[in-house]
Structure formats: C-alpha cells, structure tokens
Amino acid sequence: MVDSRNGRIGLLVRSAPGASRESRADLDVALAALSLDRQIDVYFIGAAVLQLARNLDSAAAQLPPGYKAWAALHELGDVRLFAESSWLARCSAGANDLIGPPAGLDSAQMALHWRSCNAVWSL
C-alpha cells in the first residue's frame, strides 16, 4: 500500500464551474490537502479547467464564491496545476485568462503524469 503522507497527491478535477456545488468542493479538497502539508498536483479534465477562468462569476449561478481562491494555492504549499492542452487552446482562443496558469498536457501524457503520484483522488 502506498503511503499518501509522503510524495505527491494527484487530484483529478472533473467538475465544470457553475453546474453545481461540486466544483467548489474540488477547491476545498485541494485546500485541505495543502493545509496538511501535502504536495499536490491538480489535473483539470476537460471543461473543469474553466474553474480557473479569472472572469468566472459564481454569483450568477447562485453558487458560493471562491473560484478565485485557486490562485492562493501556490501561497499555501507545493502545488502544480495541469490541464488538457486542447482545452488550454480553447481558453486562449476564447480570451479566457486562467489563474495559475496550468501546464498543458495531452490526455495520454496526463494519465502517465498522474501515475507518478503516490496517491490519486478523483473528484
């Protein structure tokens, strides 16, 4: 069994912003992991990368604020952000400025990358 107290924890984020409160829960898990002095890699799958959009307004969807708190992760500990390259290209073409910003990986590279983590949590 892998000891998740040592090494990196991978967080697979799949929730698109504004659809439900799940996307806020994703952020809360990342914050909790960092508060426990864990090193984390956050992998935004597909449209989940839109959680990092600077112009995101969760109030319009009557969801709690906090998406901009993704920017504070780097201040709390060792964190790396990743997203699918194809979605980063979409965001760039749509003039979506992303917090972070995440490093781009294609789907196969992303799967190989998160396998190097000591533990992976799918959110």
The CA distance from 57 to 65, in Å, is: 8
DSSP letter for each residue of 28-95: HHHHHHHHTT-EEEEEE-GGGGGGGBTT--GGGGT--S-GGGGGGHHHHS-EEEEEEHHHHHHHHHTT
Number of domains composing the chain: 1
DSSP summary character for residue 19: S
Top pLDDT among 65 and 107 is at 107
Q: SS3 for 120?
A: strand
- Whether 34 is in a domain gets the answer yes
Whose CA is closest to 120, among 42, 26, 31? Answer: 42
- Does pLDDT of 1 surpass 50? no
Q: Is residue 101 part of a domain?
A: yes
Residue 49 lies in a domain: yes
Percent of the chain residues topping a pLDDT of 90: 40
Q: Is residue 47 part of a domain?
A: yes
Is residue 44 one of the residues assigned to a domain? yes
User: How much is the pLDDT for 67?
Assistant: 59
Domain containing 85 equals 8-122
In this prediction, residue 69 carries a pLDDT of 74
pLDDT of the residue at 16:
81
Say if 65 falls within a structural domain. Answer: yes
pLDDT band of residue 2 (cuts 50, 70, 90) is: very low
Residue 105 neighbours by CB distance under 10 Å: 18
pLDDT at 6 over 90: no
Q: What's the pLDDT tens digit per position in 26-85?
A: 888 898 899 888 899 999 999 899 888 877 655 555 544 555 678 888 888 999 999 999
* Averaged confidence pLDDT in the chain: 82
Q: What is the mean pLDDT of residues 1-9?
A: 61
Looking up residue 79, the CATH number of its domain turns out to be 3.40.1260.10
Residue 3 covered by a domain: no
- Is residue 75 domain-resident? yes
